[in-house]
């Protein structure tokens, strides 16, 4: 498996995750993961499975597996993005870098920009979606806007709108202020502009038609800025827009 590296030094690797690859290894995951690649690339000790990172930023500690094992269990992978989402992923090479970047995520000092292709003409061109996100009680594999859910905010800016095969689509920049699981996908569904190809949240009929035209959820972790975990220098990264999204945008 070849993974593009956007940046690397003695403390940190920034990769451009291809779509279709799971980030963290688990008993339910089949096939090679980003974690497998990292363990090979950095010669991490191989562990059988990893704990789940619940909200995409701060890992959930399970039992006594904490402290140093958080870093080892995840092979330094600081956060995660969905299997079908492409784009920027941070990997720490040392425990010091790992826990410092976790702290930045927890305190919302890491700024992320996603790019999505959504259904319909999104109005107004600039706005914010503020709605609590949580697991659906009747389907634990899906998330939604639920009472008692975790606070979640997503800012957005429309890049452009066009028509393809008699249907209107918008290209949208998204700025999640929090890191809830499926937050962007759920928020866009909530305002009736689901992401193209979203098999969970676009609706059964729409998703079926989408998947005939595109092979995945049209979401890309495009840009990220953070403070270097050791030097304190401001870092900014950008992952090239993947070909499948670029063709639709053009």
**CATH number of this structure's domain 113-213:** 3.30.2350.10
Specify the length of the chain in residues.
250
pLDDT in tens, 118-138: 999 999 999 999 999 999 998
Q: How far is CA 201 from CA 42, 182, 216, 240, in A?
A: 36, 10, 13, 26
* Residues above pLDDT 90, as percent of the chain: 76
* Domain range annotation of the chain: 5-108+225-240, 113-213
pTM of the predicted protein model = 0.88
The set of catalytic residues is 82
Q: What is the mean pLDDT of the chain?
A: 90
Class level of CATH domain 5-108+225-240: alpha beta
pLDDT in tens, 194-227: 999 999 999 999 999 999 999 999 999 999 999 9
Q: In CATH terms, are 5-108+225-240 and 113-213 the same topology?
A: yes
Rounded CA-CA distance 69/66 in Å is 5
CB 109 within 8 A of CB 102: no
């Amino acid at each position: 498996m070849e993974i593009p590296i956007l940046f690397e030094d003695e403390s940190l690797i920034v990769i451009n995750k291809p779509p279709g690859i799971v980030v963290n290894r688990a008993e339910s995951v089949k096939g090679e993961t980003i974690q497998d690649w990292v363990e090979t690339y950095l010669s991490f000790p191989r562990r059988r499975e990893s704990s789940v990172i619940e909200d995409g930023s701060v890992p959930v500690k399970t039992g006594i597996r904490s402290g140093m094992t958080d870093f080892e269990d995840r092979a330094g992978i600081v956060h995660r993005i969905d299997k079908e989402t492409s784009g920027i992923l941070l990997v720490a090479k040392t425990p010091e870098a790992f826990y410092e970047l976790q702290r930045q995520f927890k305190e919302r000092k890491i700024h992320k920009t996603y790019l999505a292709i959504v259904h319909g003409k999104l109005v107004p061109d600039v706005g914010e979606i503020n709605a609590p996100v949580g697991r659906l009680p009747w389907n634990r594999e899906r998330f939604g806007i639920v009472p008692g859910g975790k606070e979640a905010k997503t800012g957005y800016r429309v890049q452009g709108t066009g028509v393809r095969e008699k249907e209107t689509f918008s290209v949208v920049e998204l700025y999640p202020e929090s890191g809830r699981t499926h937050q962007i996908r759920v928020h866009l569904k909530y305002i009736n502009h689901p992401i193209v190809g979203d098999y969970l949240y676009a609706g059964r009929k729409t998703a079926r038609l989408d998947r005939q035209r595109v092979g995945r959820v049209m979401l890309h972790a495009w840009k990220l800025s953070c403070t270097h975990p050791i030097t304190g220098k401001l870092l900014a990264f950008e992952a090239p827009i993947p070909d499948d999204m670029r063709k639709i945008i053009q």
